[in-house]
Structure 1
Amino acid sequence: MDILVVLALATVCVTLVFDYTNGFHDAANIVATMIASRAMRPAQAVVLVAVFEFLGPLLGGTAVANTIGKFVDLDGLEPQLALSILLCGLLGAISWNLITWWKGIPSSSSHALVGGLAGAVVISVGTDHVAWGFAGLLHGQLTGVTKVLLALLLSPLLGFWVAFFIHKLMARLLAGARPKINRDLRRAQFFTAAWLAFSHGANDAQKSMGILTLVLLLGGFIDSFAVPFWVMLACSLAITLGIMSGGWRIVRTLGFAIYKVRPLHAIDSQITSAAVIFGASFMGAPVSTTHVVATSIMGIGYAERPKAVRWEKAREIAQTWVITIPCAALMGMLFCVLYQAVQQLVQ
Structure 2
Amino acid sequence: MLDPFWLVVAVIALALIFDFTNGWHDTANAIATVVGTRTLKPYTAILMAAGLNLVGAFFSTAVAKAIGKDIVNPKAVTLVVLVAALAAVIIWNVITVLMGLPTSSSHALIGSLVGAAVASAGFDILQSKGLITILIGLLISPVLGAIVAFIFMKIIRVLFANQPASRVKRVFKPLQIFSSGFMAFSHGAADAQKAMGIMALALLVGGYQTELNIPTWVKISAALAMAFGTAIGGWKVIQTIGSRLSRLETPHGFAAETAAATILTTVAGMGIPVSTTHTITGSIIGTGIAERIRSVRWTVAKKIVYAWVLTLPGTAIMGYVLYTVLSFLEH
TM bucket by the smaller chain?
over 0.9
Separation in 2 of the partners of 1:248 and 1:106?
Answer: 11
Which position in structure 2 is the counterpart of 1:272?
259
- The one-letter amino acid paired with 2:98 is W
> Of 164, 167, 192, which residue of structure 1 is paired with 2:153?
167
Separation in 1 of the partners of 2:245 and 2:19?
Answer: 27
TM (norm. structure 2) is 0.96
Which position in structure 2 is the counterpart of 1:338?
325
- The one-letter amino acid paired with 2:118 is V
Separation in 2 of the partners of 1:160 and 1:105?
Answer: 19
TM (norm. structure 1) is 0.92
Go from structure 1 to structure 2 and tell me whether the alpha carbon gap of 1:75 and 1:107 turns closer, same or farther (over 3 Å shift).
closer
Which position in structure 2 is the counterpart of 1:261?
248
Go from structure 1 to structure 2 and tell me whether the alpha carbon gap of 1:112 and 1:176 turns closer, same or farther (over 3 Å shift).
same
Which position in structure 2 is the counterpart of 1:65?
64
How far is the alpha carbon of 1:187 from its aligned partner?
Answer: 1.6
Which position in structure 2 is the counterpart of 1:120?
116
Which position in structure 1 is the counterpart of 2:85?
89
Matches within 5 A, 1:79-228: 82-133=78-129, 144-178=130-164, 179-228=166-215
Report the aligned-residue RMSD: 1.5
Separation in 2 of the partners of 1:274 and 1:72?
Answer: 24
Ranges in structure 2 where 5+ consecutive residues have no aligned partner: none
Question: CA-to-partner distance for each residue in 1:191-213, whole Å, 9 max, x for gaps?
Answer: 11111111110110011111111
Conserved? CA contact 1:212–1:231, under 8 Å:
yes
How far is the alpha carbon of 1:181 from its aligned partner?
Answer: 2.6
- The one-letter amino acid paired with 1:6 is W
Question: CA-to-partner distance for each residue in 1:21-80, whole Å, 9 max, x for gaps?
Answer: 00000001211100011110011101111111101111x111111111112444444xxx
Go from structure 1 to structure 2 and tell me whether the alpha carbon gap of 1:68 and 1:75 turns closer, same or farther (over 3 Å shift).
closer
- The one-letter amino acid paired with 1:282 is G
Which position in structure 2 is the counterpart of 1:249?
236
Ranges in structure 1 where 5+ consecutive residues have no aligned partner: 134-143
- The one-letter amino acid paired with 1:4 is P
For residue 180 of structure 1, give the secondary structure of its aligned residue in structure 2: helix
Question: CA-to-partner distance for each residue in 1:151-199, whole Å, 9 max, x for gaps?
Answer: 1011011011111111000111111112133123112222111111111
Identity of aligned residues (%): 38
How far is the alpha carbon of 1:244 from its aligned partner?
Answer: 0.2
Runs of 4+ with deviation above 6 angstroms:
none
For residue 118 of structure 2, give the secondary structure of its aligned residue in structure 1: helix
Which position in structure 2 is the counterpart of 1:48?
48
Separation in 1 of the partners of 2:293 and 2:72?
Answer: 45
Deviation larger for 233-242 or 222-231: 222-231
Conserved? CA contact 1:24–1:242, under 8 Å:
yes
Conserved? CA contact 1:95–1:331, under 8 Å:
no
